[in-house]
Structure 1
Amino acid sequence: MNAQAAAQTERTGEDGRAADTLRIAYSPCPNDTFVFHAWAHGEVEGAPPLDVSFADIDITNGLAERGELDVLKVSYAVLPWVLEEYALLPCGGALGRGCGPLVLTREADADLSGATVAVPSERSTAYLLFRLWAAAEVPGGVGEIVVMPFNEIMPAVRDGRVDAGLVIHEARFTYQDYGLHKLADMGEHWEATTGLPIPLGAIIAKRSLGRERLHALAEATRASVRQAWQAPERSRDYVLAHAQEMDPAVADQHIGLYVNEFTADLGEAGYAAVRGLLDRAATEGLVPPLAPGALDF
């Protein structure tokens, strides 16, 4: 399924949604389909049915900024623009160590000063990490930034249409197939300078659902994660059906890297990572500053 086609929707119940059906959008990437498989298929007891749309992160970020849908997987980077209407759920997202975005080039020793760089979104965590890295490591700064779907970035670098590409997701495991070189690892830079895990993708839900229901959604998400861990074979077909012809071994690596203890609960370290990223980015003028208590749940 085309990750950019937000209109391609999978119904989890009958047409004509039940009154308590939640409209949710997340990516077709293995970590998201693994996490939400049980809930999307009605296997989480007491959880409301889901009306699922699959969309690339740049699209879900836009949906959040426009206030569309009830629950969304978005970049942590978009939170300063959406937290008035949406609450950050303390689970279901993607944080970790050793899982940061990569800057890829055709030449191993490429110079990015004034270079054209393809990125998956200017409202993505990957982009914030890249700008923070470039401010410290690229004399004079990079040149033009080109936004394109993440699955088109490596071919664009390979074919010389851009000088470098900022890649996410399973590209960590496949970039050598395109003859590309890893110039820098944004996660390594972030961890070395902060000691914190890397905040990548967040799950947010409409505040208008009410506090009690938001807490119930968090519990449903945790239950879906636990069931995925307990019986990973149950989600296998769902994961591979939406993995854009990804090799099953790569899908397993993807899940192993991005679904971890922070997916079950952000915890103190997770919240510190999110605040640290957004505070640093605000200092650099990349995002608006967070309002007091904006991350509270």
Structure 2
Amino acid sequence: MSRSLSLGYSPCPNDTFIFYALVHGRVSLPGIAVEERLEDVETLNQLARAGLLHLTKISYHALGHLREGYALLRAGGALGRGCGPLVVARSALDMGHLQGKTIAIPGRLTTANLLLQLHGSGYDNLVIMPFDRIMAAVAEGRVDAGVIIHESRFTYADHGLTAIEDLGAWWERETGLPIPLGGILARRDLGSDLIRQVDSSVRRSLEYAYAHPQEPRDYIRRHAQELADKVIDSHIGLYVNDFSLDLGKEGEEAVRELLSRAEHRGLIPPCSLPLFA
């Protein structure tokens, strides 16, 4: 008799590309049936805080609040260079001018918000909304600026917006490390043996997608916000990389540095448990 595990991830092309083979039976996880749940990143963050998902994509900001109940996987995440959140506005501004101004963010527990808070102080007049509505809110003047993520990075200029800060580039200048955006978590109560099996299956799911890049295309397009193949390919190319196969030493260092800085600023609680199962 198989056991069912819930797996939450976003509808963005990088996640649907990575998890296609796992949720469509192209990669086996013996004795386990994986049930997908596609939600925006902040909804996933909140579901994980309630412990409602066995496995989930998560913002690294949210991980800082979830380490007691969840362990990090080494495969499936989003880290890299040149792929961080952008702060956009209707015209060129200095970041200092945004202190006290309304800033749209894609969720309080997103890494995008954590990077904004680590960048400086005074960014506390926040308006939380789904990531795909932020550009319109900025363009229509309902907020002064917005922090955009995912495929919005490729299309903000089409909305007449200007990028005033690349938070990923700022992080890279500050630390010399890749930017940790999102990782995959497993509930600690699954046990270390099963968590390691899941980790291996996620890695093999991505390897399958690399080997059969056209097979997941319909699944990806069905869920993507931007349907143009060029945008989808750019998105996957930017957010899926060697760190998605395995964090490696550099990726792990980047995650630990982000959490350490957040702890130092009092933005996340301390935790003595190991990061991995």
Aligned length: 274
Shift of 1:246: 2.5
Structure 1 residue identity aligned to 2:276: D
5+ unaligned residues in a row in structure 2: which ranges?
Answer: none
Structure 1 residue identity aligned to 2:112: A
1:244 alignment counterpart: 225
Shift of 1:260: 0.3
Shift of 1:122: 1.2
How many angstroms apart in 1 are the aligned matches of 2:117 and 2:226? 31
Secondary structure of the structure 1 residue equivalent to 2:234 = helix
Change (3 A) 1:286 1:143: closer
Normalising to structure 2: TM-score of the pair? Answer: 0.96
Shift of 1:292: 2.9
2:137 alignment counterpart: 156
Secondary structure of the structure 2 residue equivalent to 1:68 = coil
What is the identity percentage for the equivalent residue pairs of Structure 1 and Structure 2? 49
Shift of 1:120: 0.6
- Asked if 1:69 is matched to 2:53, the reply is yes
1:27 alignment counterpart: 10
CA-to-partner distance for each residue in 1:2-31, whole Å, 9 max, x for gaps? Answer: xxxxxxxxxxxxxxxx64121111100000
2:87 alignment counterpart: 103
Structure 2 residue identity aligned to 1:56: D
Contact map agreement 1:94 1:263 (CA 8 A) in 2 = yes
Shift of 1:294: 2.9
Contact map agreement 2:73 2:276 (CA 8 A) in 1 = no
- Asked if 1:295 is matched to 2:275, the reply is yes
How many angstroms apart in 2 are the aligned matches of 1:83 and 1:113? 31
Contact map agreement 2:226 2:232 (CA 8 A) in 1 = no
Secondary structure of the structure 2 residue equivalent to 1:32 = helix
5+ unaligned residues in a row in structure 1: which ranges?
Answer: 1-17, 136-140
Shift of 1:115: 1.0
Structure 1 residue identity aligned to 2:62: V
Structure 2 residue identity aligned to 1:235: P
2:24 alignment counterpart: 41
Shift of 1:245: 4.4
Large movers: runs of 4+ above 6 Å:
none
2:216 alignment counterpart: 235
Relative contact order higher in (CA < 8 Å, ≥ 6 apart): 2
CA-to-partner distance for each residue in 1:147-191, whole Å, 9 max, x for gaps? Answer: 111011100000000000001001110000100000000001000
CA-to-partner distance for each residue in 1:101-135, whole Å, 9 max, x for gaps? Answer: 00000011352132110101111111111111134
Contact map agreement 2:29 2:197 (CA 8 A) in 1 = no
- Asked if 1:122 is matched to 2:108, the reply is yes
- Asked if 1:225 is matched to 2:209, the reply is no
Shift of 1:143: 4.8
Normalising to structure 1: TM-score of the pair? Answer: 0.89
Structure 2 residue identity aligned to 1:171: S
